[in-house]
Structure 1
Amino acid sequence: MAYNFSQMNSFFFFLLFVFCFNFSDAQKVPAMYVFGDSLVDVGNNNYLKISLAKADFRHNGIDFPGGTPTGRFSNGKNAADFIAEKVGFVASPPPYLSLVSKSSNSDAFPITGVSFASGGAGIFDGTDELFKQSIPLNRQVVHYTTVYDDLVQQLGSSAAQVHLSKSLFTVVIGSNDMFEFFKSDSDLAKRTTPQQYVDSMVLALKRVLKRMHYFGARKYVITGIGAVGCCPSQRNQTTEECNEEANTWSVKYNEGLKTMLQGLKSELKGMEYSYVDVYKVFARFIETPSTYGFTEVKSACCGLGNLKAQIPCVPISTYCFNRRNHVFWDLYHPTEAAARIFVDTVFYGTQPFAIPMNVNQLITA
């Protein structure tokens, strides 16, 4: 009888993975892969030499363990950290660029996941013109394919597919695209209508999700866009009220995204997803803040000037001493407290906050 040693090797690694790779009882998924912008960046931008979109200075990280800045645009942990905690990880997956900077070898990537998120990133390339450099979503997926190839080398093709099919793929993106369209000097509004723009955002994201599926992604946590018109940077441009036009089109994008995901699920074999409605959660924070322990919904905690939104959170800025009662940490980003409540809401919540299932249900789907 002739033996195919290549097939035997793949089968051996498949058995090794199924029977020997036992993650802890607390760990609900074998790995977590994070894509997105500054809402979930855990330090990738620290490794971009000329980027202005960094949070590697005080007062960022003042409430993070150790009290030092880590590259998170927050006073403490962000949404990626809290999702990682919920699924049983001790910490968020490490930033991709921190791994490639340490080693030229592809075996630098941990089997438990990697973060590709980058502050300033958008669905479209070029949404970071203001900040000069970030890793746009398309490039993040290119980086993921490198990690994918490494995983196949470590486990073999069959075991890698099993591993990825049970892993969580979190995608938090789109806010920077919306900010780019509605900024005062934007040329985009002259070239396209808001409806055309949000439709093109949805279509571009669909192409990215399909590419991720081709490289093993099956379980997606995908966020819509929040009430971007209500963040301090936008309020500061008006009479401290929300920019309702930006909010209206954020909602339009979210509706298009939900419709797209429903169709994509029937198109892609094995795809499951939890669409989490950032807009509805943060609208609740703003409309009924006392329900969640907040007392300040307009002003940033860290910054200078009106609403602490005329100068961003930089070392010369002042910051609030009770970060727990603020929804916003700086011009754009939520406080650790707001991020924690958001993740609590969508992880175990019901519709309309998580559709068609919450994140916990997605894990067991």
Structure 2
Amino acid sequence: MVKRDGLKWWFTVAMVAACWRKGVAAEAQASAIWVMGDSLIDSGNNNFLNSWAKADYYPYGIDYYRGPSGRFTNARTFSDILGDWLEVAAPPPFSSPTTAGRRILGGVNYASAAGGILDETGQHYGARYSLNQQVVNFETTLGQLRAMMSPANVTQLLTNSIIIVGFGSNDYINNYLMPNLYASSRNYNPEAFANLLLNHYARQLQALYSLGLRKFFLAGVGPLGCIPNQLATGQAATGNCVETVNQIIGSFNDGLRRLVGQFNDGSHPGAMFVYGNTYGVFRDILNTPARYGFTVKDRACCGIGRNRGQITCLPLATPCFNRDQFVFWDAFHPTQAANVVLAQRAYSGSTTDVYPINVQQLAQMRL
């Protein structure tokens, strides 16, 4: 793995090449990208919801060309950057009034901060789109597409699309690990809770398959015990991570990887499901930060209190100046620099990072 300077050069060259290819009318690697998930890939949906979970203020977006856009980082999210690799522009947020007509032809982003696999997850933040609601929202978009295109063209669009799905983090951070607000940790042990989540997840993936989507990238949950919010609890025995939290989410990630194998066993003809090992890639970043040019891995760039994780990034706060050297932007979310690594490994990584194939190979498949 190259160091940060090399990685930034490689990433820049790739993006310039992508822009050049677009300039000569080359086809994108996917007809569209559809994004479902939480604040890690929300592109502004919560801006239009009655929610406490918003990132529509400075210094969020401090390094983004549009400034604060509703993205919970200093610039671009994982799905934005993965879209760059696929040569597909970042899709607009579903809840924006302008997301209509030709704007939806390249895909739509349905991700919502505080949203989870379970409908109850994140309810203390107010309005948000859960997984169930995001699938309903996709059906709304599908109705719009059917009004604009022939059935054959809609089928072709969906078949050659890639859907990026990233759920589960909030079901732990804003549900299972909050026993004063949610009863889930009293009613379920970690394995039983993971099975509950995966059963809900599988039903909605089946619904999306039934609606015509065929290429799925399913991101696992990262090492939540290592984020500044959890480090701020003071429970990290070694000062690096709260390993009890990481062990809790292990059942979910293991189950999601098995679910991908089950869905690829012939029960979903014409489809491919890919598991993204977010946990493994992020632990690699944290275990060997210097390989990627990071110098700060245990506190946020913007936040207050222990590890800058007790209170997340507030309006008009002054963030760190060396943002490319920080793994974490705020109490919960990575910086754009960390998202670059995650997206590159998802796009072209080995089977250790992405299973059974990577996103580049997924895009090249003719189903």
Runs (4+) of structure 1 moved beyond 3 Å?
106-109
SS at match of 2:312: coil
- What residue is the counterpart of 2:254 in the other structure? 255
Spell out, residue by residue over 1:313-356, the C-alpha distance to the aligned partner (whole angstroms, 9 max, x if none). 01253311000111100010000000011101110010210000
Q: What does residue 87 of structure 1 align with? A: 86
Correspondence 1:25 to 2:26: yes
How far 1:239 sits from its partner (Å)?
Answer: 4.6
Give the residue type in structure 2 aligned to 1:161.
Answer: T
Measured in 2, the distance between the counterparts of 1:24 and 1:351 equals: 32
* Aligned CA distance change for structure 1 residues 24 and 174 (closer, same or farther; 3 Å): farther
Does 1:137 pair with 2:131?
yes
Give me the whole-angstrom Cα distance separating, in 2, the residues matched to 1:200 and 1:35.
19
The structure 2 residue matched to 1:196, chosen from 192, 195, 199, is 192
Post-superposition offset of 1:156: 1.5
Question: Which residue matches 1:10?
Answer: none
Counterpart in the other structure of 2:177: 182
Asked whether 1:73 is paired with 2:72, we answer yes
Alpha-carbon contact 1:304-1:317 (below 8 Å) kept: no
Displacement of 1:181 in angstroms is 0.5
| Cα separation, 1, equivalents of 2:301 and 2:152 | 49
Structure 2: 5+ residue stretches without partners: 1-23
| CA RMSD between the two structures | 1.5
How far residue 204 of structure 1 moved from its aligned partner, in angstroms, is 0.7
Q: TM-score, normalised by structure 1?
A: 0.89
Cα pair 1:220 1:274 within 8 Å, conserved: yes
Query: Partner letter of residue 91 of structure 2?
Result: P
Instruction: Give the structure 2 partner of residue 4 of structure 1.
Output: none
Measured in 1, the distance between the counterparts of 2:58 and 2:153 equals 43
> CA offsets, 1:272-303, max 9 Å, x none?
02211100010011111101111111100001
- Aligned-partner residue type, residue 125 of structure 1: D
The residue number in structure 2 matching 1:146 is 140
Amino acid at match of 2:177: F
For normalisation by structure 2, the TM-score amounts to: 0.88
Deviations 1:186-220 (A, max 9, x none): 42111111111001111111001000011111000
Aligned equivalents of 2:123, 2:298: Cα separation in 1: 26
| 1:12 paired residue number | none
- Matched to 1:31, the amino acid is A
Residue number in structure 1 paired with 2:150: 156
- Supply the AA of the counterpart residue of 2:93: P
Percent identity, please. 33
Range that drifts further, 239-248 or 72-81: 239-248
Q: Which whole-Å CA distance do the structure 2 matches of 1:118 and 1:269 have between them?
A: 30
Aligned to 1:224: 220
Instruction: Give the structure with higher Rg (CA).
Output: 1
Residue 108 of structure 1 and its aligned partner are, at CA, apart by 6.3
Give CA deviations for 1:117-163 in whole Å, capped at 9, x if unaligned.
Answer: 11111011011123112111110110101111222222221221111
Given candidates 116, 127, 133, the residue that maps to 1:122 is 116
- Alignment check: 8 A CA contact 2:260 2:274 kept: no
Distance 1:229 1:157 in 2: 46
SS of match in other structure, 1:318? coil
Aligned to 2:14: none
Contact 1:304 1:318 survives alignment (8 Å): no
Deviation at 1:183, TM superposition (A): 2.5
Structure 2: how far apart are the matches of 1:81 and 1:198?
28
330-339 or 307-316, which deviates more: 307-316
How many pairs are equivalent? 336
Letter in 2 for 1:59: P
